[in-house]
Amino acid sequence: MTTFLVYILMLPFGHATLPFVINTWPFKDATSAAWSVLQAGGSILDAVEQGCSRCEVDQCDGSVGFGGSPDENGETTLDAMIMNGDTMEVGAVADLRRIKNAIGVARAVMQHTEHTFLVGESASVFAENMGFTAEDLTTNKSLSIFTQWLKDNCQPNYRKNVLPDPSKNCGPYKPRAMLKQRKSERQIDIHAHDTIGMIAIGQDGHVAAGTSTNGANHKIPGRVGDSSVAGAGAYADSTAGGAAATGDGDVMMRFLPSFLAVELMRTGADPSSACKTAISRIKRYYPEFFGAVICANTTGHYGAACNKLPGFSKFSFMVSDSPSNVPLLKSVDCF
Ligand code: GLY
């Protein structure tokens, strides 16, 4: 018995009673919103949509929803996706302008089109036609972030191999002859990419996942990160599990970490190991990338992993199930 207890305590991952919800970062009200849907007998897709919508309204950490991450023109644009792990349907939007409820529009793409992914101005027109209200996403805060950035000679920015020297100057930029490739020395801002990623697992083990973000501070207009890309920002497959990622989307989307983690769980990996392998794969090429992944399987086991950096040694996430009935703050040590 004692041996059994020690074994349980040493398990490298958590276990929740189905149904349950798990999301990135300590975005507790988002967890509560999703959990309320599940408690009321609502669907896992509704739970993910409502949970992520809560963050869009609350502007979680300034990195989700309106009024955050102004681009080089000072405009906030939103990326979101939602995935049904039963049918493998996905709805996604990116570079969405003037509409606050990005995950709602992603859901509308899934429910009212045969497409998967709409972007930019056309996605906004689609949203308006679907009844979403067009509003200015700029706030005093995003305006002041943008104004300060202009005052700081547009530092930091995402340009490389251009003239004038982007590490000292604003644009417009032109390509520089690439005589010598210079390694980008972009400063890491660990608060610049705090996406909400959420997984809901139903009573019967069915899986849904979704994300919502305003992307990256001072991004180049038109930039789309990982969050709205299926397999990168999130992935759900009711025959295996779900995963969601947060962090430097420009790097992370190259590795489809959510897809990889789900595939590893399919082959029997526990959620913590699956998350760790997904992080390790990126680390091999980008040891200094900022990012974390949450993973959950269809039996209620969950885990998370993150890449250890100066100032980022623990990653927090939320879990809610019926024994707890309130969102529980969990954390994992980065490696
Ligand atoms: N992970 C959010 C982004 O980089 O857009």
35 belongs to a structural domain: yes
169 belongs to a structural domain: no
For residue 156, say if its preceding peptide bond is cis, omega within 30 degrees of 0.
Answer: yes
The dihedrals phi and psi of 31, each to the nearest 5 degrees, come to -60, -45
212 belongs to a structural domain: yes
* Residue 182: both structure tokens together: 């210079």
Cα 180 to ligand 1 centre (Å): 29
Cα distance between the two ends of the chain: 32
- Looking at the DSSP bridge assignments, the partners of residue 331 are 316
Give yes or no for residue 185 having a pLDDT over 60: no
* Residue 238 near residue 85, CB atoms below 8 Å: yes
4 belongs to a structural domain: no
* Residue 45 near residue 198, CB atoms below 8 Å: no
CATH number at residue 304: 3.60.20.30
Per-residue pLDDT reduced to its tens digit, 116-160: 999 999 999 999 999 999 999 999 999 999 999 999 999 999 999
Give yes or no for residue 189 having a pLDDT over 90: no
290 belongs to a structural domain: yes
Q: Domain residues for 237?
A: 17-138+187-333
**Ligand 1 contact, 249 CB (< 6 A):** yes
Per-residue pLDDT reduced to its tens digit, 164-182: 999 999 999 999 987 555 5
258 belongs to a structural domain: yes
Which residue's CA is the nearest one to ligand 1's atom 4?
249
Contacts (Cβ under 8 Å, ≥6 apart) of 267: none
> Where residue 236 falls among pLDDT bands split at 50, 70, 90?
very high
* Residue 219: both structure tokens together: 């991004």
**Ligand 1 contact, 68 CB (< 6 A):** no
For residue 19, say if its preceding peptide bond is cis, omega within 30 degrees of 0.
Answer: yes
Count of positions (residues) in the chain: 335
176 belongs to a structural domain: no
Phi-psi region of 83 (alpha: psi -120 to 50; beta: other; left: phi over 0): beta
**Tokens 């700081």 map to which residue?**
152
For residue 172, say if its preceding peptide bond is cis, omega within 30 degrees of 0.
Answer: yes
Q: How far is residue 156's CA from residue 144's CA, in Å, rounded to a whole number?
A: 15
Per-residue pLDDT reduced to its tens digit, 20-30: 999 999 999 99
Q: How far is residue 188's CA from residue 99's CA, in Å, rounded to a whole number?
A: 28
Cα 11 to ligand 1 centre (Å): 31
154 belongs to a structural domain: no
DSSP state of 61: G
> Catalytic pick from 195, 211, 213, 277?
195
Per-residue pLDDT reduced to its tens digit, 54-65: 999 999 989 999
Q: Give how far the C-alpha of residue 123 lies from the chain's centroid of Cα atoms, to the nearest Å.
A: 19
What total of structural domains would you count in the chain? 1
The answer to whether residue 195 is catalytic is yes
Cα 146 to ligand 1 centre (Å): 18
**Ligand 1 contact, 193 CB (< 6 A):** yes
> Where residue 286 falls among pLDDT bands split at 50, 70, 90?
very high
